Structure 1
Amino acid sequence: MYNPLHSERSVPKICILLFLHNFSNSLINRMAQSAVAFNPAYGETAPLLALESDYEPLFEDIEERAKVERSLLKKLDRRMYLLGVIYILNYIDRQNIAVARLRGFEEDLKLEGSQYASCLAIVYVGYLLTQVPSNMYLEHIGRPSIYLSSCMILWGFISMLTGAARGFYDALIARFCLGFVEAAFFPGALLLISKWYKRDEIGQRTAYLANGLLIANAAGSLLASGILGIMDNAHGIAAWRWLFFVEGALTISVAICAMYILPDFPKTSSGWLSSAEHSLAIRRIQEEYTVDDSPEHPFNGLLLALSDRKVWLLAIILGLHTFSSSFHIYFPTLVQTIGYDPIATLLISTPPWLTAIVAVIVISRHSDEKSERCWHITCSMGIALIGYLVAISTMNPVVRYISFFLMTQIHAGYVCFMAWASTSVSDPPSKRASALALINTGGILASIFVPYVWPSSWGPDYSKSFGICIFANILTITACCVFRGHLASLNALTTPRVLVGKQYQYQL
């Protein structure tokens, strides 16, 4: 029987049909992978979803994958712990000026009026100028082990130069340069964490990073008390100058080690992972965010971040939270209002931060387990609010000291918030890099004005300062609830599909 498809003239037709069939299948698959729900009210897209068929199995069975994944996370965590150490030094080098104030910093430099507050604030101007372009550059080169470590060496050197300041302008310039270089670290660290960990893993790892700030407040006070006590007038140099020299040198030493320990991004890391672990590291994030991870121009990501309403809301929340938690910048001064000498003040400043470390670990882990952020944030904010109300109502040394323990619990909410931010703005990678820096810029803008919230003339009760903290605290809680409602509305737009996992809607 004659079959027209077997004729020679039918060959071109068959080729055309096959081409159209393959092209249509490819187009349908691409549309399925890129499927989003659009919300005209917000001008945003709902969370991206992944189909089971989108990913070929990387391992023969689930148990084999789980075994490789455990090995990957174990190796990765060992290296990522260094981020917490770096954050300790980042904070110490930025805030050791508050400790130096207890031992003659203002008097030796002949600071007057608001000049000390200006020295505190100027560092955040440097932060403001650098954070966004720094994260864009880091996303472009993909080598945090080299970039972040190099920045760390520079800020350690600048910190040492601060100890050689002879007047207000010397200190002001050094502090500006310090912020200009230090700015690369925190948003860069958040970007690095988001490159390796899944959404239900980020909270706990962000907690390890943020605990560096709390340990810096606790251990930093102990370290400073030792330096101030031992090195006072050693070789004719004031103790506060030795504080900058020693802590800056320590930073440089750790930075050199970080060059060999910190991981790069999954696609640029090599040598410390097996081939299976390396492939799984890349696949995990592809499955998690369901986006094309191919290189793109960093400015495209910046434009996407600027046009995303979630980024602006998160930046506002962080700015309000920064005002609410501003007490930690002046913590040694606040503790001194109880009536102890400088060394004793530094020693009793430690316990409140130790309890905060425990709270951060417990609350962030529970937040990860429940995949919930908002209520964990507001709970810690509420505890801090009680602390502010107690501090504003009495100058009793015992009661006021107890209030400091309550205040420090606010940092557990900060950790949960940063994990929330990291998972709420995630794709594409260049957008994530710019978004994290822009969100952190909200906190930096607030930090520029925070030093002026705690003038010496408002002491020793600082009731006006605590009043500002209370107002900012209430606004932060309100803004978090508004943001939660916004994400819930976006989740409601998600088209029902077969999910690879349960993490593909926004965490609330």
Structure 2
Amino acid sequence: MKADLKLFGQERNLFNTLFNMGYLSGSIPNQFVINRIRPSYWIPLCELIWGVLTMVIASAKNARMIYGIRFLTGFFESSAFPSFQVLLGSWYCPEELAKRVALFEMSSSMASMFSSYLMAGLYATMNGTGGLAAWRWMFIFDGVITLPIAVLGFFCIPDFPTTTRALWLKPWEREYGIRRMAAIGRAPQQRLTLDRVRAIFLRPTIYLSAIPYTGNYFASYTGYFNLWLSSLPNLSVEQVNLIPTAGNGLAVIAAYVWPAISDRTGSRWPFAIVGSVFGIIGGILLSIWHLPFGVLLFANLIPSAGASQPLIITWITESFQDNTELRSMIIAFGNVISYTMSAWLPLLLYPTQDAPHYKYGYQFSILFYGLHIIAVLLFRYHIRWYHRKNNLVLNELGLPVVLAAADVESLDEETEKKEKVSAHVHEV
């Protein structure tokens, strides 16, 4: 692609920058949309649009054409991730949720693996077929895969328990979904208005929640793995595409193991910082740089052994289950921060002309991973403050449930609180 389009300077990074700008432009507006339009309508429609746009990239003659397409692709793709997280949090209980969010994360890692295998296969068998380079066929195949899955989304996405009309759910199953959420105190969706959004952003909760959610995202350096491999003279194009799939495979395993342990133990925060610890180890090794190939390979792969994001999303869902709109805004705002940082930070820390050995990138990643650990610990204490401030106490499952202020004031001892909440949950 670089040779065909005669890319130079920062143009490769700018493809990602324009995508990120589109993504952050659409993240919060899309939460208003799914609050008024069924997710089963809006998300598949957006996917159809970005699938078509992806195929159009195959016809690009220069970098400028790709800039506009990438912005629009990012805008429409921003509907998916926050919306799916809110949907998952509206259907699953604590002992199930982390594993389901992790499955969503695993699908991303598996898709990256499949993409690398597909690219290697296209380069080996279709490069030049029909007068098109293999990278152009890649975008065409991406669209061919995307479009039928988007159509399937109109029928498969269940919306929320209180609004679902999914044909594959029986009436009693829909009612069961509503009762399950009521039993654990998870509030149903309410109408999202500008006043409610303003109130959310005038309070510290959304900011203290979004920081641990985003920290690992812009600390990551695994996106430059391929550039290091490309600089090695003894590796073929197929090997450059295939070797990084080891990291995707590791991410798939980690995305199951850590959430499963977290669900079993009922604890979130210790496992949410594992990825940052691994990222610091890898960052230190890459900062040293002049090390054997195997050590640098290990350093690029080890951050994939954490699973911070699905655990933090689960933690946010459980902690603020009294407010569905707050949860959706935290995830959307977190994505805005992530993609805002990604729009300019790589240009500064990982300039293309310095690849594969960057002057400051890995050192700053170590700093960001360390700040992420601090942010997780601060978030843990903020949750406790939020529960006290909003008259939330823990039910027998360890989840916050709303009680009237008068009821809370009358509870003098922790044992009395637990009895009150247990009775309240049983009544619901």
Same structural fold, with TM-score higher than 0.5 when normalized by the shorter chain: yes
Deviations 1:441-481 (Å, cap 9, x if unpaired)? 22121221243132233223335221121111111111111
Report SS of the residue matched to 1:129. helix
Contact 1:320-1:476 at 8 Å conserved across structures: yes
What is the alpha-carbon distance in structure 1 between the residues aligned to residue 325 and residue 388 of structure 2? 26
1:281 is the counterpart of 2:177: yes
Measured after TM superposition, the shift of residue 189 of structure 1 is 0.7
Greater C-alpha Rg? 1
Aligned with 1:336 (options 208, 220, 230): 230
Report SS of the residue matched to 2:36. helix
What is the alpha-carbon distance in structure 2 between the residues aligned to residue 370 and residue 201 of structure 1? 12
Measured after TM superposition, the shift of residue 269 of structure 1 is 1.9
Contact 1:138-1:144 at 8 Å conserved across structures: yes
Residue identity over aligned pairs, in percent, reads: 24
Cα distance, 1:310–1:496 mapped onto 2, change above 3 Å: closer
Measured after TM superposition, the shift of residue 232 of structure 1 is 0.4
Aligned to 2:264: 369
What is the alpha-carbon distance in structure 1 between the residues aligned to residue 159 and residue 393 of structure 2? 34
Count of aligned residue pairs for this structure pair: 398
Aligned to 1:400: 296
Report 1:300-315 matches (<5 A): 300-315=195-210
Aligned to 2:400: 504
Aligned to 1:225: 120
Q: State the one-letter code of the partner of 1:137.
A: V
What is the alpha-carbon distance in structure 1 between the residues aligned to residue 394 and residue 65 of structure 2? 61
Aligned to 1:53: none
1:481 is the counterpart of 2:409: no
Contact 2:110-2:252 at 8 Å conserved across structures: yes
Contact 2:269-2:380 at 8 Å conserved across structures: yes
Measured after TM superposition, the shift of residue 363 of structure 1 is 0.3
Contact 1:391-1:400 at 8 Å conserved across structures: yes
Measured after TM superposition, the shift of residue 348 of structure 1 is 1.4
Deviations 1:305-349 (Å, cap 9, x if unpaired)? 213322112222334322211x23333223334541221111111
Aligned to 1:253: 148
Aligned with 2:329 (options 434, 438, 456): 434
What is the alpha-carbon distance in structure 2 between the residues aligned to residue 212 and residue 294 of structure 1? 26
Deviations 1:261-304 (Å, cap 9, x if unpaired)? 2222212223322332211201222233354x474343244223
Cα distance, 1:223–1:301 mapped onto 2, change above 3 Å: farther
Cα distance, 1:251–1:372 mapped onto 2, change above 3 Å: same
Aligned to 1:457: 353
Cα distance, 1:211–1:308 mapped onto 2, change above 3 Å: farther
Measured after TM superposition, the shift of residue 497 of structure 1 is 6.7
Q: What runs of 5+ residues in structure 2 fail to find an aligned partner? A: 403-428
Report 1:60-459 matches (<5 A): 105-141=1-37, 143-270=38-165, 271-289=167-185, 291=187, 293=188, 295-325=190-220, 327-339=221-233, 340-393=235-288, 394-410=290-306, 412-452=307-347, 453-459=349-355
Larger mean CA deviation between 388-397 and 167-176 belongs to 388-397
Aligned to 1:98: none
Larger mean CA deviation between 180-189 and 367-376 belongs to 367-376
Q: State the one-letter code of the partner of 1:146.
A: Y
Aligned to 1:24: none
Cα distance, 1:287–1:136 mapped onto 2, change above 3 Å: farther
Cα distance, 1:187–1:300 mapped onto 2, change above 3 Å: same
Q: TM-score, normalised to structure 1's length?
A: 0.73
Measured after TM superposition, the shift of residue 169 of structure 1 is 1.3
Contact 1:115-1:168 at 8 Å conserved across structures: yes
Q: TM-score, normalised to structure 2's length?
A: 0.86
Q: State the one-letter code of the partner of 1:181.
A: F
Aligned to 2:409: none
What is the alpha-carbon distance in structure 2 between the residues aligned to residue 498 and residue 434 of structure 1? 23
Report SS of the residue matched to 2:262. helix
What is the alpha-carbon distance in structure 2 between the residues aligned to residue 406 and residue 312 of structure 1? 29
Deviations 1:399-419 (Å, cap 9, x if unpaired)? 111222212124x11221222
Cα distance, 1:110–1:136 mapped onto 2, change above 3 Å: same
Measured after TM superposition, the shift of residue 155 of structure 1 is 0.5
RMSD over equivalenced CA pairs, Å = 2.3
Report SS of the residue matched to 1:267. coil
